[in-house]
Each structure stands twice: as structure tokens, then as C-alpha cells.
Amino acid sequence: MDYGVHIGRFPRGKRNLISDVPGVKVGNCTLISDTSHVYRTGITAILPHEGCIYNERVVASSFVLNGYGKSTGLVQVEELGLIETPILITSTLNVGKVWDGLIAYVLGHVPDAKSINPVVMECNDGRVNEAEYRPLGEKEVFLAVEGASEDFSLGNVGAGTGMVTFGFKGGLGSASRIVDSYTVGALVVSNFGRKEDLLGVVEGRAEIGSIIVVLATDAPLTARQLKRIAKRGALGIAKAGGYATHGSGDIVLAFSTAHRIPRKAEAPIDIKVIPDDTKLFQKLLDASVEVVWEAIYDALLASEDMVGRDGKVWKAVDPDVILKKVRCI
């Protein structure tokens, strides 16, 4: 998707989405309703590949820039360096119900699973959404996961529905870069920053929020290397204007689709890895900064005005604000 933001030196993928990484798909379940409560919320699902992720895990790591967050599953990801479920992102107070729904989804495909590590990440959409009523559950999890596709919308959809960025309407963003024969893609749920961070104008009111970043690549990397990639994703947040404020949960998850690690392997597995001390690996690090930076701006540009709880109108950013910043880069 092209919103006129051209950052960095690497070419984009075909869609300029995280799904340019072969095999990766994204699904959204969006709830916008005023029937009983003001709901502006949803779930975003990232599938690393089309197979059974529980039995064919992918290598992963994470980096916590600021830990004011309630994501689940990252402890085991850090211990094993593997992801074994679809990655779900949702509203903070809905994490428990979405976690339970993801358990149900995995058990539906692997009935004999005795231990499951659901990765559920979150941002707080309570400024726009009546989040305290927690409307999302198993049904919405299945809709998000089973609706995953290479083509998906950005902005006011899925987990991005009720998000705010730099005081403007935020949401779901994504971008991709081609690095030699490999692809690096990012998906963000952008809900962070103060208006002054973007505009340079102090309004005397601090904003709260978070940002979740998911980085994907088909480059063959170890979990240790993916942590290095994830750290560069945090630099992309800073490049876009983030300061990792006290109440912001800024968390990056990175995975590689290059190898599928079988759950019940009984023999050594041969894998190839790009060495750290190569020009190619440095390019992958650089592209990880670019792709997150652009994905954040795309989340702003794809989002539209939204009336939220208490009738408050959250305005979309004027595209010229972003485009002028990009032209100065």
C-alpha cells in the first residue's frame, strides 16, 4: 500500500505489507457498535505460515523497550526461541478472553495438546472504546485467524480500531522491504506518543498508550539474531517520534519463516544461518528500522476520523504533516 511515505534506501515489497514475507498472512476482526456500549475494538491475527504452527514452530525473539504491557507468551518465546501459535493483538482488558479463545483454536486442530503457549499482545484502546465491557472472545478469535489473508486493510481495523497515535487517530500499519533475495515486513498496532512529539508543539497534556510491533522475515536467522532485529524495530519507533514514555508498553516481536522446527524431531536438524558479521545481516538490521518507521506513519495515514466513547471525536492526521516530515528526511 502506498500512502506517499517513502523512507530509506531499500525497495518495497509488492504489497508493502508484512504479508510480502512468503507464507505470512494477517486477519482482522473489527467490532464497531453503539447498540449496548460504545465498542471500537478488535483482534488482529498474524499467521507465520499456512501449516500447523503448533507442530511446525518458527524461530522468534522479542524486545521490550518499555514494559508497561500485559502481553502473554513472551517468557516461553525467550526461553525456547520459538512461536507455536498464531500471534494475536487486541485490547488490553480483552487479553484473557482472547488468550482463552486462542487455546480453543489450537485444541481444535491439535486435540491432544497438553501445553500451549498463546502469544497475545495488547494496546489499551480505552480512550476510544468502552474497553471495560470486554466484548471480544472465542468467536472473534476464530474470525480473525480463519480470515487471514495476504491482502488486508490498515487503519481503523482489527486491533487498531480504537487506537490513538500522537494525539491523532491511530491504528493498524504495515510495510515491507526487499533486502537482496529476502524480505523484511512489519506490522504495528500504533497507540503511542504525544502530539508534541510529532508536531513539536507543546499542548500541556501527556498522552498515554503503547505500540506493538511484529517483524517478520524469510531470512534464516537464529533467535539471538532476531532479538537484534527486534531491537532495531525499537529504533524505528524512535525515528517516527516515540519517546517510550512511562505508561507506554512498547514491545517488539520478531520471527523468521526460514525454518519450521518440528515439535517431535528425534534427530538433529540442519539449518543455515546468515552470519552476523556480513553486509547482508547489516542490511537486514537497517531495513528493520525503516520498515517500522514507515509502518507507523502508514497507520496514521490509513486511519480515519472516529467518534468514540463520550462522543469524543478523534481526528485523523492531516497527510501533509507526515509528508512534510518525510520530505525532510
C-alpha cell at 274: 546468515
Residues labelled as active-site residues: 210, 248, 250
3-state secondary structure of 161: coil
C-alpha cell at 102: 486462542
Do residues 188 and 28 lie in contact, with contact meaning Cβ atoms separated by under 8 Å? no
Do residues 168 and 306 lie in contact, with contact meaning Cβ atoms separated by under 8 Å? no
> Can you tell me the distance from the alpha carbon of 171 to that of 257, in angstroms, rounded to the nearest whole number?
26
- The 3-state secondary structure of 293-305 reads HHHHHHHHHHCCC
Give the DSSP letter of residue 160: G
Long-range contacts, 197-200 (Cβ 8 Å, 24+): 197/166, 197/241, 197/242, 197/243, 198/166, 198/167, 198/168, 198/241, 198/317, 198/321, 198/325, 199/166, 199/321
The bridge status of strand 182-191 relative to strand 164-165 is unpaired
Q: In this structure, which amino acid lies at residue 126? A: G
How many CA atoms lie within 13 Å of 216's alpha carbon, on the beta-carbon side? 30
> Can you tell me the distance from the alpha carbon of 55 to that of 100, in angstroms, rounded to the nearest whole number?
19
C-alpha cell at 316: 485523523
Residues present in the chain in total: 329
> Can you tell me the distance from the alpha carbon of 222 to that of 81, in angstroms, rounded to the nearest whole number?
8
> Can you tell me the distance from the alpha carbon of 329 to that of 324, in angstroms, rounded to the nearest whole number?
9
Q: In this structure, which amino acid lies at residue 306? A: M
How many CA atoms lie within 13 Å of 329's alpha carbon, on the beta-carbon side? 17
